[in-house]
Structure 1
Amino acid sequence: MSWSLTEEEQSLYDTVCEFADEVIAPISYEADREHRLPMDVVAQMGQLGLFGLPFPEEYGGQGGDVMSLGLAIEAIARVNQSLAITLEAAVGLGSFPIFRFGTEEQKRELLPDLTAGTALAGFGLTEAEAGSDAGATRTTARLDDGEWVINGSKQFITNSGTPITRFVTVTAVTGEREDPDGRMRKELSTIIVPNGTPGFTVEPAYDKVGWNSSDTHPLTFDDARVPEANLLGERGRGYANFLHTLDDGRVAIAALATGAAQGCLDEAVAYAKNRNAFGKPIGSFQSISFMIAQMQARVHTARLAWHDAARRSAAGLDYKREAAIAKLVSSDAAMSNARDATQIFGGAGFMNESLVARHYRDSKILEIGEGTNEVQLMVIARSLGFNQ
């Protein structure tokens, strides 16, 4: 695998970094404080083509791949994780399932607005007792007179309640199937549910520790009815499709975490060079310079890991283990760098006006979302022949 960026990829990264620094960074504190997703910035992200980066031009995309998407996410995450996760979830959880598993009719109907950023979509997987254990899903969908009748609830669903949210794709139990061992298993399928469907309620937004300017809601379904044609992919393949979706998502989350780690490093370097103590910059003290050196090492390792997984994905190679490694390493880098940057800033790093304070609050979820780090260890262990 090659970890160097092409000229086009470097140009993309530089362009998005400039946009993030000039447009996103100045509004980030107020948006976080107000728990508000800045829709005007989302619109500008759409105009830049960011929501269409990994999709073919025939669906309104930019013809790129997971690598190009990751570069854009990393660039934004340096200054604002909430907008980075808005992009990541919109593409990885909203558009990718349609692109990978949808019928041609579904793709042509839904993808152009999603890739343009004029519409968003969510992916409803997690429930109160079904997160890492997706097989414990309790939401059900039964066929009745040519319609799916959906009942149940979902939680922690990103981009599910914005002014431009078009639909959510939900996993639901659609029956039972006998496995090769003769045991009956839940049949999980994925179904597209448009916002505004009677019986589908987007509940009030969460009051979160971090990612405060991203959109996250619980969802409830009370006899919500959608056409049978809203089935996404093959009936009973919902669990397999979800696992494939998460592999892409873990690469993108790793890019986001790397961006967060880089943002903390940038802030720490600048502060250590300009903050004086005992008559000299605090960066001249070995304890501080070594802490920052360790932060740089984490960023470098995390970036290599997600680049490797992305290159493997683009080449059509198996990348499940590499995606898990990237997510594990990068989320640890983000959390550790946020902690160290806050320590370097001292009291100033405990104020929410400080970017490192927001990174400190935001980064913890990176060790949980898109599969906890314990799940990543399980995936890696299984790839080595250990079955839990």
Structure 2
Amino acid sequence: MPAERLLPTTEAQDLVALAADIARAELAPVASEFEKAERFPREQFRLLGKSGLLGLPYSADWGGGEVSYEVYLQVLEEIAAAWMSVGVGLSVHTMSCYALAHHGTDEQRDRWLPQMLDGDLLGAYALSEMHAGSDAAALSTKAVLEGSDYVVNGTKAWITHAGQADFYTTMVRTSDNGGRGISCLLVDGKTPGLSAAEPEQKMGLTASTTAQLRFEDARVASNRLIGNEGDGLKLALSSLSSGRLGIAACAVGLAQAALDEAVEYAKGRTQFGRPIIEFQGLEFLLADMAATVESSRAMYLDAARRRDRGMPFQRQASIAKLVATDGAMKVTTDAVQVLGGAGYTKDFPVERYMREAKVPQIFEGTNQIQRLVIARELKNS
């Protein structure tokens, strides 16, 4: 990772340094083993919680770190550079806390948020369905109020941490009024009638469980409604704007790890009597990779600083997510090329990085959706 970061305070520098130390000492050494075994890193998430890294951008009133998004995202980048599954999981957990932290009542936050932020509870975000991915307003999982409970029926799809999470920030349909009929429920992971299907068999992020989430007459207390009925789509889209910055930071971390591996290999590999990094063809390729990483980092930091200042940042978040994830796909592919035949084997991590780089172009809104968001903002500006 970069030797120096432009951080606003000494405290921020210390925090990012702590994250980097944990990433190098506790995450990177076991990442390959866990990915190969498809083993969920629950203890590693507990470690992040005990270290104060699971609630960084939230209020100290409920146990959060109360740090800026600019700083939080740089912590996230360090984690993702060491182990992408954990970085993505941290981003998802942070997004799962968003609705309660920003739109819950004080009573709701007092009751649930401290455990969510200190790592006792791990979160998941349940919005997508098989026929409601990019078109979130088309979701059909239904919640009917019966007495003091909502009775929920339906199936969510592509849910990160499904079956592993302790709570699910879940978007449900409470009326037939299109997008205005969607509401947000904070669902306990042990709710009777809630279950997860078998995990999806994925090409990458294999230590990060992804599965369908099934609701069969699951009863959720009405005091777990976040905001008002009908607020769900608004809360979901607001959460996603911040979540896209998390994915951008993760993608930059992954790309930086691939670049570091490629540079190290090119320095040590000799052909025709000299290190291959001295050949112009490789020099230019590595330079382009470095330019992609640095420009992607600048994009997410610009969007984060706008968010921290209370300025509109949705377009910049979509641009950052688009640029960083497309960039990570290219940088990881080029890293495999630098290593040649060795890069295509599992003896080196770049083949895993390349597989892991694909899905960030898809989740938190596909990159085609990001282009739609950007274009719409331009038309309306």
TM-score by length of 1: 0.94
**Residue 114 of structure 2 corresponds to which residue in structure 1?**
112
Q: Does 1:271 align with 2:265?
A: yes
Shift of 1:44: 1.5
Q: Which amino acid aligns with 1:68?
A: V
Shift of 1:185: 5.8
**Residue 204 of structure 1 corresponds to which residue in structure 2?**
198
Aligned counterparts of 2:221 and 2:309: Cα–Cα separation in 1: 37
**Residue 171 of structure 1 corresponds to which residue in structure 2?**
171
Q: Which amino acid aligns with 1:263?
A: A
**Residue 151 of structure 2 corresponds to which residue in structure 1?**
149
Aligned counterparts of 2:260 and 2:50: Cα–Cα separation in 1: 28
SS in 2 for 1:50: coil
**Residue 368 of structure 1 corresponds to which residue in structure 2?**
362
1:265-310 CA-partner distances (Å, limit 9, x unpaired)? 1111111101111211111111111000000000111011000011
Q: Which residue among 20, 32, 35 is the counterpart of 1:32?
A: 35
Aligned counterparts of 1:250 and 1:185: Cα–Cα separation in 2: 21
1:141-191 CA-partner distances (Å, limit 9, x unpaired)? 1111221111100011112322xx3221211111134xxxxxx76511111
Q: Does 1:289 align with 2:283?
A: yes
Q: Is the 8 A contact 1:29 1:352 kept in 2?
A: no
1:10 and 1:353, CA in 2 relative to 1: closer, same or farther beyond 3 A?
A: farther
SS in 1 for 2:201: coil
Q: Is the 8 A contact 1:12 1:71 kept in 2?
A: no
Alignment of structure 1 residues 94-109 onto 2, 5 Å: 94-109=96-111
**Residue 300 of structure 2 corresponds to which residue in structure 1?**
306
Aligned counterparts of 2:260 and 2:172: Cα–Cα separation in 1: 44
Q: Is the 8 A contact 1:121 1:160 kept in 2?
A: no
Q: Which residue among 127, 139, 146 is the counterpart of 1:125?
A: 127
TM-score by length of 2: 0.95
Aligned counterparts of 2:326 and 2:11: Cα–Cα separation in 1: 29
Q: Does 1:224 align with 2:226?
A: no
**Residue 88 of structure 1 corresponds to which residue in structure 2?**
91
1:283 and 1:319, CA in 2 relative to 1: closer, same or farther beyond 3 A?
A: same
Shift of 1:386: 6.5
Q: Is the 8 A contact 2:195 2:213 kept in 1?
A: yes
Shift of 1:374: 0.7
Aligned counterparts of 1:198 and 1:24: Cα–Cα separation in 2: 34
SS in 1 for 2:333: helix
Q: Which amino acid aligns with 2:149?
A: E
Q: Which amino acid aligns with 1:364?
A: K
Q: Which residue among 345, 351, 356 is the counterpart of 2:345?
A: 351
Aligned counterparts of 1:71 and 1:363: Cα–Cα separation in 2: 18
Aligned counterparts of 1:79 and 1:201: Cα–Cα separation in 2: 31
Return 5+ residue gaps in structure 2 as ranges: none
Q: Which residue among 221, 228, 234 is the counterpart of 2:228?
A: 234
**Residue 180 of structure 1 corresponds to which residue in structure 2?**
none
Q: Is the 8 A contact 1:90 1:159 kept in 2?
A: no
Q: Is the 8 A contact 1:158 1:214 kept in 2?
A: yes
SS in 1 for 2:76: helix
SS in 2 for 1:52: coil
1:185 and 1:254, CA in 2 relative to 1: closer, same or farther beyond 3 A?
A: closer
Q: Does 1:77 align with 2:80?
A: yes
Q: Which residue among 365, 373, 379 is the counterpart of 1:379?
A: 373
Aligned counterparts of 1:308 and 1:185: Cα–Cα separation in 2: 31
Q: CA RMSD in A?
A: 1.5
Q: Is the 8 A contact 1:254 1:330 kept in 2?
A: yes
**Residue 17 of structure 2 corresponds to which residue in structure 1?**
14
Q: Which amino acid aligns with 1:226?
A: V
Aligned counterparts of 2:49 and 2:42: Cα–Cα separation in 1: 10
Q: Is the 8 A contact 1:127 1:155 kept in 2?
A: yes
Q: How many residues align?
A: 376
Q: Does 1:60 align with 2:54?
A: no
Q: Does 1:319 align with 2:313?
A: yes
Aligned counterparts of 2:179 and 2:73: Cα–Cα separation in 1: 36
